[in-house]
Chains A and B, each alone.
Chain A
Amino acid sequence: MTMIELRNVHKRFDELEVLKGINLTVEKGEVVIIIGASGSGKSTMLRVINNLEPIQAGEVWVAGIPVHDPKQAGEVHRIAGMVFQQFNLFPHLTALQNVTLALRKVKKLDQKEADRLGGKALEHVGLADKASAYPAEMSGGQQQRVAIARALAMEPEIMLFDEATSALDPELVGEVTGVMRQLAAEGMTMLVVTHEMGFARDVGDRVVFVDEGVIAEEGPPEVLFTAPSNPRTQQFLHRVLDR
């Protein structure tokens, strides 16, 4: 079953064309990794899927919802959960309140039921003991795990990760990718923009290399990482793996 489909998607910021005809299909349960240089358009791709950026041409379908149609685009938020590079936790709310806000206001659950589900979501990411902590009192890794719990609590069918570990100190990356690995193992459909090539290789069912607004190459990680056919992919991998 197809969960995400992009058809010839074009996205322009004023004069700058960021996506120049993207075609991509993601099946249910698939983990697709998106790699590429900064400015290549990979984050924009996720943001387009999640209705955070309007597109100029093409079609974006998420679980049957036409996200390119502004009238129905908002529906995508019931289907997709998103995790951001900068966590974007609500600083005035505790970890549990962060997780339960949408449960109460969007799903209209009462406080008790929301707290129960919120607690479960925090447990899922190993932070049940931080329920009453504010974001400022947590490490970056903990904050990002709360952000994942916040998205998971809404029971999304798809999780979008936009460089979820890029803002973390290196020693904190593992706890977040750990949760992401667990999610993948549980069968979650995931679209992951990342620079963590080890994670990409281990967890990805498919790797997509985005270059200057187009998908330059895609394939299973064992092929794309070891024998890329496009010279641009070779260059990029050479640069990032050499570090």
Chain B
Amino acid sequence: MGWQGIFESSGILFTGLVNTLLLSVASIATGTTLGLIVALLRTARIRGLGLPLRLYLEIFRGSPLLVQMLFIYFGAAYLGIRGVDTFMAALTALTLYEGALISEIFRAGIEAVPRGQREAARSLGLSRYQIERYVILPQTVPIVLAPLVGQYIGLVKDTALATAIGYFELVREGQAIIDRIGMPIETFIVIAGIYFMICYPMSLAARRLETRALHA
């Protein structure tokens, strides 16, 4: 029986799940950090930084993540840069791509804070850093939390693209099972189910955060 075969391959699937989670968690951390930094730099309107940041944003938002992954992985090999394994290449591409999208979420959140907040803080003598840290960001976080989690859901599914450069995440391990025992339909149903079990709780969390932000 097919299901039986898949069940017996659960060890392989588990490895895939761990690798998917590893890549997801790592790129959520790096993508969020990059996105926050880019948003802060863009909203600070620092002279000379506006154009380069805009270019970064448009290039990585405006091209497919798959292409970026292939470009980084094979580009690094072509240039002889060592240490760029499949995980590093996937993580780098995800960081840059998700960072671009996340920076826009943060920018919207930062700009949603009324201008008077910044002026009052400045009048009290707070430094630029202190204003962001103690006045603006605490008000930004409740605004961006729900859209951020929404973005993370997309990110988890985007990690599946790393299969194209040979990273052994869920889809790739599923492929390995199919290569061995066939049963593609059943295997992919199981894999889709695993993704759903990761993403659905996140979706519920996003909804709860949204209602909380509305009542805040």
Question: Which residues does A use to contact B, with CB under 8 Å?
Answer: 50-52, 74, 77-78, 80-82, 84, 86, 88-92, 101-102, 105-106, 147, 150-151, 154
Shortest 6 CB-CB contacts between residues of A and residues of B: A88-B120, A102-B124, A77-B125, A88-B116, A82-B123, A106-B125
* Given A88-B119, A88-B120, A90-B117: A102 and B139 interface contact (C-beta under 8 Å): no
B134 with A105: CB separation less than 8 A: yes
Question: Which residues does B use to contact A, with CB under 8 Å?
Answer: 114, 116-117, 119-126, 130, 134-135, 138-139
Q: List 21 A-B contacts (CB under 8 A).
A: A52-B119, A52-B123, A77-B122, A77-B123, A78-B125, A82-B120, A84-B119, A84-B120, A88-B114, A88-B116, A88-B120, A89-B120, A90-B117, A90-B120, A90-B135, A101-B126, A102-B124, A105-B130, A106-B130, A150-B124, A151-B123
Which of B119, B121, B123, B130 lies in contact with A81, CB distance below 8 A?
B123
- Which B residue sits closest to A102, measured CB to CB? B124
Which of A51, A92, A105 lies in contact with B138, CB distance below 8 A?
A92
- Which B residue sits closest to A80, measured CB to CB? B123
A88 with B117: CB separation less than 8 A: yes
Complex contacts, A84 vs chain B, CB 8 Å: 116, 119-120
B135 to chain A, nearest CB (A): 6
Complex contacts, B123 vs chain A, CB 8 Å: 50, 52, 77, 80-82, 151
Measured CA separation A100–B121 after assembly (Å)? 12
Complex contacts, B139 vs chain A, CB 8 Å: 90-92
Complex contacts, A102 vs chain B, CB 8 Å: 124-126
- Which B residue sits closest to A101, measured CB to CB? B134
A202 to chain B, nearest CB (A): 26
B124 with A154: CB separation less than 8 A: yes
Complex contacts, A89 vs chain B, CB 8 Å: 120
Complex contacts, A50 vs chain B, CB 8 Å: 123
Measured CA separation A77–B124 after assembly (Å)? 6
Which of A51, A52, A92, A151 lies in contact with B124, CB distance below 8 A?
A151
Interface centre among B120, B126, B130 (most CB of A within 10 A): B120
Measured CA separation A88–B124 after assembly (Å)? 12
A236 to chain B, nearest CB (A): 27
- Which B residue sits closest to A154, measured CB to CB? B124
B214 to chain A, nearest CB (A): 14
